[in-house]
Amino acid sequence: MKRSFIREILESITPETISFAGGLPDEHLFPHEALRTSANRILSDPSHLQYSTSSGILPLREQIAAIYSGQGFETHADNILITSGSQQALDLLSRHYRDRSITIESPSYLGAMGIFALNHLHTDAITLEHDGITINPFAQSLERTQLTYLIPDYQNPTGRTYSLEKRKVIAAQVQKHNAILIEDGPYSDLFFESRQPAISAMIPDRSYHLGSFSKTLAPALRIGWIRASEALLRPLLIHKEAMDLHTNSLTQYILFDYLSHGDQYATHLKNLRKHYAKKRKAFSEALTKYLPSFVFEKPKGGMFIYGRLPGVDTAELVKMSLKKRVVFVPGNEFYGEGRGMDEIRFNFTHPNTEATIRGIKILANCL
Ligand code: PMP
């Protein structure tokens, strides 16, 4: 398996590099003081340093279950398995479904495609349209694979969001073909207009819903989770025990403490959405002004702006721009071979507005 382009890029980034590449949150918005207070409270009790259970600490699972139930998706603590980021959730699922075929979006999340390849899952990639995956080929593929991996909210890499109609059709198709849906939602809370209903809520016994605190709080916590029926979670626990016994329980307790103190998490999320919506606006305006040949859709949430520079080989462009210390991810990385050659994914949440404008001007110069 080839090394991830994003890893290589992240490693070549210096403090001077303007990076539009990784899906990084803005560290100025981390609630680090509140997390420090929680960490101090938790570390004052040595019992928090002991081994813990493989499914995760109960009070945190209860809190996550309550968040789902509050959104109308009835969930109990037994439906939650805490993982080391949602990346580990993908790894657990890939091990469980090893050697199977799986229907995915094209383009899709690099980190998932890498794990699928590593676990010999054969991917059937179906074109992602502006309002979700293309239904007819999706249904035909699902009949064969009976397994699908989708990112319906502010997708990585395209920033696209599924329409309600497509969500319903997909749920019906999963049901019809006795299939299983893996719904990945690390960006679901970063909506700029309104929250979309999870497809999993329409088929709770045929789905895994993956969540994470990486994009909303801090990736260093490495806390993600899988929401599924107890029957679906049970075999995953065996893999989880084999992998790491349990997710870091110290950060689980810190997170539990943070979430249980007033409404600071809700306030933080509101603030985050407001700031990221502003950053999306600034980034879009800079693109329109300084890189007018870039054709793109404005995302309604998440962290990425995706689009095309018609006729430009963006893999060549990034080689050139890297020398001038500006990086982005060329679209080809998110497909199989030979597609998306003139496409680009920009991350708009990490760079500040001054760096955004300077970086886009440098790209225009390289062009
Ligand atoms: N799924 C998707 C679609 C992602 O974009 C990412 C992070 N880039 C992950 C899963 C993994 O995130 P984490 O392990 O930090 O929760």
Our answer on whether the CB atom of 85 is closer than 6 Å to any ligand 1 atom is yes
As a whole number, mean pLDDT of residues 311-331 equals 94
pLDDT by residue (tens digit) across 146-160?
999 999 999 999 999
pLDDT at 6 over 80: no
What is the pLDDT at residue 13?
A: 77
What is the pLDDT at residue 69?
A: 98
Cis peptide before 157 (omega within 30 of 0): yes
**DSSP H or E segment with residue 157:** none
Instruction: Compute the distance between CA of residue 12 and CA of residue 17 in angstroms, rounded to an integer.
Output: 9
As a whole number, mean pLDDT of residues 120-142 equals 98
As a whole number, mean pLDDT of residues 24-36 equals 97
What is the pLDDT at residue 102?
A: 98
pLDDT at 120 over 90: yes
Q: Do the Cβ atoms of 198 and 209 come closer than 8 Å?
A: yes
Q: What percent of the chain has pLDDT over 70?
A: 98
Cis peptide before 107 (omega within 30 of 0): yes
57-61, Cβ contacts within 8 angstroms, sequence gap of 24 or more: 57/82, 57/249, 57/252, 57/253, 57/256, 59/256, 59/260, 60/223, 60/252, 60/253, 60/255, 60/256, 60/259, 61/225
Our answer on whether the CB atom of 25 is closer than 6 Å to any ligand 1 atom is no
pLDDT class of 2 with cuts at 50, 70, 90: low
Q: Do the Cβ atoms of 19 and 350 come closer than 8 Å?
A: yes
Indicate the SS3 state at residue 246.
Answer: coil
User: Looking up tokens 């696209």, which residue turns up?
Assistant: 160
Domain ranges of the chain: 5-23+265-366, 50-259
Largest separation between any pair of C-alpha atoms in the chain: 61
Question: Residue 113 C-alpha to ligand 1 middle, in angstroms?
Answer: 12
Cα–Cα–Cα angle for 115, 206, 54, rounded to 5 degrees: 60
Instruction: Compute the distance between CA of residue 339 and CA of residue 125 in angstroms, rounded to an integer.
Output: 12
What is the pLDDT at residue 3?
A: 61
pLDDT at 82 over 70: yes
Which CATH architecture describes the domain 50-259?
Answer: 3-Layer(aba) Sandwich (3.40)
What is the pLDDT at residue 12?
A: 75
Our answer on whether the CB atom of 109 is closer than 6 Å to any ligand 1 atom is yes
Structure tokens at 273: 């959405």
pLDDT at 9 over 90: no
pLDDT at 7 over 80: no
Question: Residue 186 C-alpha to ligand 1 middle, in angstroms?
Answer: 6
| Fold of the 5-23+265-366 domain | Aspartate Aminotransferase, domain 1 (3.90.1150)
pLDDT at 94 over 80: yes
pLDDT at 212 over 50: yes
What is the pLDDT at residue 1?
A: 46
Indicate the SS3 state at residue 158.
Answer: coil
As a whole number, mean pLDDT of residues 184-191 equals 98
Our answer on whether the CB atom of 23 is closer than 6 Å to any ligand 1 atom is yes
pLDDT by residue (tens digit) across 252-298?
999 999 999 989 999 999 999 999 999 999 999 999 999 999 999 99
Question: Residue 87 C-alpha to ligand 1 middle, in angstroms?
Answer: 6
pLDDT class of 5 with cuts at 50, 70, 90: low
Question: Residue 92 C-alpha to ligand 1 middle, in angstroms?
Answer: 14
DSSP string, 203-237: STTSEEEEEESTTTT-GGG--EEEE--HHHHHHHH
Our answer on whether the CB atom of 182 is closer than 6 Å to any ligand 1 atom is no
> Please, which residues have CB within 8 angstroms of residue 356's CB and are 6 or more apart in sequence?
18, 20, 279, 282, 283, 286, 348
pLDDT at 245 over 80: yes
What is the pLDDT at residue 336?
A: 74
Q: Do the Cβ atoms of 90 and 115 come closer than 8 Å?
A: yes
pLDDT at 72 over 60: yes
